[in-house]
A and B are shown apart, each in its own frame.
Chain A
Amino acid sequence: MKTWIAFLNILKKDIQNYYLKPPNISWGIIFPLSWTLMQLIRSSGGINMSDIRTLLPGLMAMSVLFGTTSMLAVTITFERKGRSFDRLLLAPISLNTMVTAKLSGAILFGLFNAFVPVLFASFFIDLAGTNWGAVLLAVFLIAVTSTLLGLIIAVSAKEVFEAQTFSNFFRFPMLFLCGLFLPISSLPIFLRPISYLLPLTYGTDLLGEAILGAGTLPPVLCALILLVFATVLFTLCQYNIRRKWIL
């Protein structure tokens, strides 16, 4: 019970202090909207509403990726710099509970970001035929793995600007390598193995299957691979946290 009280209050504090701030909410809305418009305008033959459905899996995956990685990395680095993070390290709750509470805030923010494009799309296209259960699972798993990538960055970064820079170092290559807007099959052969080493590839494929019925890998396999990524990343984070935060 005591652990739950601490967990819920860390989560509530993060949501109130960081995620519900107007700049973050507007980022969650403006970013997917502007990306959609950009994709529609650049598509040959002018704006075609049916393209929105094709863009949706990539757009959702990208919104989650950008929303989660930088937010967690920045908030943790910010708290560590101001030493308020020590307060959490000194609380009589396990490191796993504390880290999971921090991750949960970012995951929820990722889920919110993912469904902003869906909300906009629903005004223009019919989303019938979408496997919403699979969409939710895919978005959740993308959010978990992206948040853990953010945590890896947070453990290494000492300054907020470092956290931002490291986040981009991960994110921008993933935009082009994970099949978000460019099929992996169209990538140069030497780049394709790298694509399959990135969790977002499997998340995007799972979303593509759930929304367009156009996945290239079996959905169960994608979900399992994402779970393996999440477990490995969490273990790596735990190891790094114990090594770098408790000196």
Chain B
Amino acid sequence: MSTRDIVTVTNLSKRYGDFMAVNDISFSISCGEIFGFLGPNGAGKTTTINMMIGLARPSGGSVEIDGIDAVNNVKKAQSIMGIVPDESNLYDEMDGFDNLCFCGSLYGMRKAEREQRAEALLAQFDLTKVGKRPFKAYSKGMRRKLTIAAGIIHRPDILFLDEPTTGIDVESARQIRHLLLELKQSGTTIFITTHYIEDAERICDRIAFIVGGNIVANGTVSELMKSVSHGYAIRLTADQNLEPFADDLQQYFDGCTVKVNTNHEVTLLCEERIPLSPVLQYLDRKGISVFEAKEIRPTLEDVFVKITGIEAEKLKKEKEKGGMAK
């Protein structure tokens, strides 16, 4: 992957009267990576994306996209961007194929070229069968997929997606994640906002957390994990009661803490990483047959909760409620 930065955001701010929606944020996105932007409702995600794509004017700071000043030369910058908003905004009366062709025409694509591309995209997004159906007759998942297809019809260098998997069925969400990874493979840089932390963990190369208009963390998934990691954990599950052996275990593995989860399950918490085999050998000598031993790593959700103080599940429900209300 190239390490050249395609997006550089410097000291970007947006003020609405006395309210500071985005407060002096800076970050960059490398060419060809998937960059995730996570935060609760009202954190400033959409305002940031709007300033980057030219739908809102920054109160301060700059946005540079592939060397183009995207604040003062917005139309030039828009020619290399693909934009997929949080709500599907295609034309209800037009069919899927015509919607794609119309979107292509806005980027100056000639008739033959846009028709060929529209057909290819319908096939790629598994929408060929419904290509001649009016957009208003599409299911939520189909609408989302066609909106993404419309965003990439002109083969943009960078794709902005606002909540691409919100409110759609599991299968469509899986297809969309797969399509995004395919786009990344083909060299497209992707900026994505999502409240599905597990989605971000699965597909993003780098992630920034935004809360109250401020970026509170920014890094690769492993960097973010390291920033909150406080030791290692091994979870052991056996077919007999482990509780009587808890003290023995703690004494044997000096410096570790044993937490009894259930009669048959304990967690060994250590400052340093300990290999699994000595633990299993020790229990074997004690006549305990362990049928599951697992190293527990922190998830991105743990990192998010730790850094932002916001319960991930609460964030998800808040967003889904908002999405349903729309």
Contacts and interface: CB of A to CB of B under 8 A. Distances in A.
B285 interface: no
Which among A86, A87, A89, A247 has the highest number of chain B CB atoms within 10 Å?
A87
A13 B79 contact: no
27 contacts: A1-B108, A2-B108, A5-B108, A6-B105, A6-B108, A10-B106, A17-B91, A17-B94, A82-B89, A83-B85, A84-B89, A86-B85, A86-B89, A87-B90, A87-B106, A88-B106, A89-B55, A90-B54, A90-B55, A91-B106, A91-B107, A92-B78, A92-B79, A92-B106, A93-B106, A94-B75, A247-B56
Interface residues of B, number: 29
A246 interface: yes
Interface of B: 50, 53-57, 75-76, 78-79, 81, 83, 85, 87, 89-94, 102-103, 105-110, 150
The 10 A-B residue pairs with the shortest CB-CB distance, nearest first, are A2-B108, A9-B105, A92-B79, A91-B106, A83-B89, A92-B78, A84-B89, A5-B108, A247-B56, A92-B75
A90 B103 CA distance: 11
Nearest to A83: B89
Q: DSSP majority for the B interface?
A: loop
A15 to B, nearest CB: 12
B252 to A, nearest CB: 63
How many A residues are at the interface, by size bracket? 20 to 34
Interface of A: 1-3, 5-6, 8-10, 13, 17, 82-84, 86-94, 246-247
A92 B107 contact: yes
B106 A9 contact: yes
Given A1-B108, A2-B108, A5-B105, A93 B75 contact: yes
Given A6-B107, A13-B94, 13 more contacts: A3-B108, A6-B105, A6-B106, A6-B108, A13-B102, A86-B89, A89-B54, A90-B55, A91-B106, A92-B79, A93-B106, A246-B57, A247-B57
A130 to B, nearest CB: 39
Contact of B89 (A13, A87, A91, A92): A87
B113 to A, nearest CB: 10
B74 to A, nearest CB: 9
A92 B70 CA distance: 12
